Amino acid sequence: MQLKKFVSLMLSAATAVGCMISTASGAQASNLLSGVALGGSYKGTSVYVSSDPLYQGYPSYLVNTLKPGRLGSGWNLPAIDNGDNILPNIGNFYGMDFYYDVPNFGPNADGNIAVVIQTSDGFSRIAGISSFLNSTGNGYNGWGTYLFPSSFSPSFSPNQTVLRTVSIRYNGGIGPIYLLYPVIYGQNSDLNYASFNYKTLPDPRFNNQ
């Protein structure tokens, strides 16, 4: 009888621990995306827009930095202070895309955007971008960019890195732009614009300083 009680208690404890682990791991990941607007001397702005101006179908953020040269506005994937600031685990990182709209059929913002990623080892890497003209209409040029593991400095080998966070940082050099449609590719799954919920109030800092 004592053995049965002991086994029953052990099974109950194991079940409780399993539930705690499951809850904890679920709470660690976040799919809440946010705009970023830095205050103070940066004077960055970020305004949530439920439908982008060019394609008129995707959530976006109108971002600008009123003092060009400062990386004072952009994106956080995921939003800060949500869960443990970790993206859902997509396995090893293969690459990512994102798009932005420039008013008045404006030029690309290649020299004004930097992408910073943090991997599961806590190490951060940075990349500049090289955009292509994806679409034109409604007074806007839509630009897109592809990034791969080799795009980042320092580079890392494909299929060997689990992504933790991403921030896309804009310095306002060509005026306001709309950031939209992030896609992140992994060994096990992908994240795209439909994978995220969108925070309407901007974060006051980037998620990987």
Q: Calculate the dihedral angle through the C-alpha atoms of 114, 74, 132, 166, rounding to the nearest 10 degrees.
A: 60
* CB neighbourhood size of 130 (10 A): 11
Distance CA 172, CA 69 (A): 7
Ramachandran quadrant class, 166 (left: phi over 0; alpha: psi -120 to 50; beta: rest): beta
Spatial strand order in the sheet of 197-203: 124-128, 113-119, 163-170, 73-77, 32-37, 197-203
- Give the DSSP per-residue string, 170-196: E--TTS-EEEEEEEEEESS-EE-GGG-
DSSP SS3 for 146? strand
Q: What is the pTM of this model?
A: 0.84
The one-digit pLDDT tens for each residue of the chain (209 residues) are 333 333 333 333 333 333 322 323 444 889 999 999 998 878 899 999 999 999 999 999 999 998 888 888 999 999 998 777 899 999 999 999 999 999 999 999 999 999 999 988 888 999 999 999 999 999 999 999 999 999 998 887 766 788 999 999 999 989 999 999 999 999 999 999 999 999 999 999 998 86
